[in-house]
Structure 1
Amino acid sequence: MTTTLTSTGPPSAGKSATGRERNRYAAQAGGFAAPALLLVTLVLYLPFLWTGYLSFTDYTGLGNANWVGFDNYANMFSDADMRTAMLNTLYWVVGTIALPVGIGLALALLVHGLPGSFWYRLPFLLPYAISGVAVGVVWTFILQTDGALTQALRFLHLPGADLQWLIDSPLNTWVMIGATTWQGAGVNALLFGIGLASIPPGPVEAARLDGATGWQLFRHIYWPMLRPLTTVVVGLAIVGSLKTFDVVWAMTQGGPGNTSQTLALLMYKRTFIDFKWGSGAAIAVFLTVITVVAAGLYLRRQLSEAKAVN
């Protein structure tokens, strides 16, 4: 009986070679990522750190920045304009989730399965190609005092002709949310339409054979399968609503007075109109923290619920 011995080398040789190869790949990946990280640092993190520093000063855009500690933050929360801006921003969050997202989902469901469904969504998608300022200009023409809407209601003898759409508060905020809905519902319909098209036909056909129709199909088939996409759409809506600026500035500039201004608009006014850069920086930091926390909590909750279901 002959025994053949095969030399395989030290047991750790293969592992160490693999480790060196992994480190080499990591170093190469880091080299490729370094320019992007440097760019992000220069255009995002450094300005935020500078803004955070200014929020603790009384800087006015000229001269030296004197350290004032937390005075800007204390004054911010005791400011009536700040409370109005926070309430209006809350309106924007609720309205932007309920209207553009809700209407977009309804449009996608209505045309789902119809021949040429894209062409039904196209008229609602076109306003998305318009900038926010252009949307504000168009709807200002419609909603201004004695504007197109008022004249149409008066001609048709319908109620509402006496309303001051852009003057009365909080009506002015809600009609601006309506203008944003006109712009954003179409793209949400497109996204939900793509999500519906990706649903496999098997579960839908099985549910229909069991007698499910309408609301039952939506609740038990479409909605659970659209949930990952809905998480993304609603998350983007939350972030966008917290940063609302262009439509409000184009339509009312936060007025009359400060009744329709948002946090982003108040930040702009404090910095570039009142030249209170420290106060504006404090609002910017507060708005950034609120946006990150709100989006993070929402996404974390949705992802944890999805894991629980799976």
Structure 2
Amino acid sequence: MSIPATPIMAPAILEEAKRRETAAMRRSGRVALLFMAPALLMVGVFLLAPVVFNIILSFTRWQRFSGLDEFAGLLNYQRLIGIPYFSEAMINTGMWVVGALVLPLAFGLGLAMLLRGIPFEETFKSLFFLPRVLAPTAVGTLWYYVYAPHGVINTISSAVTGQPNDFGWLFEANTITPAIIFTFAWQTLGINMVLLLLGLAAIPRDPIEAARVDGASNWQIFRHIIWPLLLPTVFVVTILNVVAGFTAFDLLWVMATGYPGQRTLSLAVYMYYETFGKSSWAYGAAIAVVLSAMVVIVSWALTTMQSRVEQRIR
């Protein structure tokens, strides 16, 4: 014979149910942590540990296998301010960030808008995406001969003007950075186009059709409907391009082999030169810390802006 439940027993029953639910959640959390343990171990060993070691290293005098146990304080960071190479690398890195953002984004958006719904759309998309699958070193080697004194550009220029042209695009301070940025934009144009095409495909057609019925022009539709709804995707592309601009290395290293001021082309190249070329590992670690801090700050700012834009759209 069962005992009927009474109002006095209700709190005890609720308390027991909460206790069992809490115990079940703890068991689920332990199981989840057990499955995540290998990934967390890999991240800790191969990502977090090197980052922490690099930060510690930047406060030492480590150079040529000596001085790791000597504390240097902020000496390596003070050295950054006093060396002109660092300021030149900072300026070139800024140019890289702007160029790596504006050119691929602008051309990628233009292509995404032009290729939608045209005949042979998939073929054109594959052609523009093809450079992305090539290794950066292969792309750098290819475009090195395009910009060479007797390369493709100067050959075409000589044929058009009728005068010999052997200008060294990769050997002049005023042209080397823009030339390599254009090469980077050529390689990354395809991935920007694909991401923006995905963003365009997610935009509902009803507002666009309603605007056309009301007599809105293509520019008005793009400005007031397509662009605001595409902004979340634009921010994703922007973050990817900005990070790529900050960390640019392979194209610079391959294409600027003969340039005298190669180490000033970007902070990443300058860091590599000081660390492995001059064995100034502590100083190179300080450059890496500054570069990482810049990437984190800019990425955080862009991510914050992206979340605010998404909230406003919703």
- The verdict on a shared fold, with TM-score over 0.5 as the criterion, is yes
Alpha-carbon distance in 2 for matches of 1:157, 1:54: 56
Q: Gapped runs of 5+ residues in structure 2?
A: none
Q: Gapped runs of 5+ residues in structure 1?
A: none
**Other-structure match for 1:32:** 35
Q: Deviations over 1:25-58 (max 9, x none)?
A: 1111111112211110100111111111111122
RMSD: 2.0
Residues 92 and 241 of structure 1 are in contact (CA less than 8 Å); yes or no, is this contact kept in structure 2?
yes
> Once the two structures are aligned, what percentage of the paired residues are identical?
34
Identify which of 249, 257, 261 aligns with 2:261.
257
Residues 169 and 259 of structure 1 are in contact (CA less than 8 Å); yes or no, is this contact kept in structure 2?
no
Identify which of 48, 52, 57 aligns with 2:55.
52
* In the alignment, structure 1 residue 304 sits paired with structure 2 residue 303: no
Summarize the alignment of residues 157-306 of structure 1 with structure 2, pairs less than 5 Å apart.
157=161, 161=165, 163-253=167-257, 255-258=259-262, 261-306=265-310
Residues 85 and 261 of structure 1 are in contact (CA less than 8 Å); yes or no, is this contact kept in structure 2?
yes
**Other-structure match for 1:6:** 5
Residues 68 and 258 (structure 1), Cα distance of their counterparts in 2 relative to 1, 3 Å cut: same
Residues 86 and 264 of structure 2 are in contact (CA less than 8 Å); yes or no, is this contact kept in structure 1?
no
Summarize the alignment of residues 78-157 of structure 1 with structure 2, pairs less than 5 Å apart.
78-157=82-161
Identify which of 77, 80, 83 aligns with 2:81.
77
Alpha-carbon distance in 2 for matches of 1:102, 1:17: 56
Alpha-carbon distance in 2 for matches of 1:138, 1:309: 43
Question: By how many angstroms is 1:304 displaced?
Answer: 1.9
Residues 147 and 169 of structure 2 are in contact (CA less than 8 Å); yes or no, is this contact kept in structure 1?
yes
Please say which of residues 110-119 and 5-14 is displaced more in the overlay. 5-14
Letter in 2 for 1:32: F
Please say which of residues 246-255 and 256-265 is displaced more in the overlay. 256-265
Q: TM-score, normalised by structure 1?
A: 0.93
Residues 96 and 181 of structure 2 are in contact (CA less than 8 Å); yes or no, is this contact kept in structure 1?
yes
Alpha-carbon distance in 1 for matches of 2:163, 2:296: 42
Task: Determine helix, strand or coil for the equivalent of 1:170.
Answer: helix
Letter in 2 for 1:58: R
Question: By how many angstroms is 1:254 displaced?
Answer: 8.2
Residues 247 and 268 of structure 2 are in contact (CA less than 8 Å); yes or no, is this contact kept in structure 1?
yes
Residue correspondences, number: 307
Question: By how many angstroms is 1:95 displaced?
Answer: 0.5
Task: Determine helix, strand or coil for the equivalent of 1:62.
Answer: coil
Residues 281 and 260 (structure 1), Cα distance of their counterparts in 2 relative to 1, 3 Å cut: closer
Residues 254 and 98 (structure 1), Cα distance of their counterparts in 2 relative to 1, 3 Å cut: farther
Residues 254 and 235 (structure 1), Cα distance of their counterparts in 2 relative to 1, 3 Å cut: farther
Alpha-carbon distance in 1 for matches of 2:258, 2:297: 25
Residues 161 and 213 (structure 1), Cα distance of their counterparts in 2 relative to 1, 3 Å cut: farther
Letter in 2 for 1:148: V
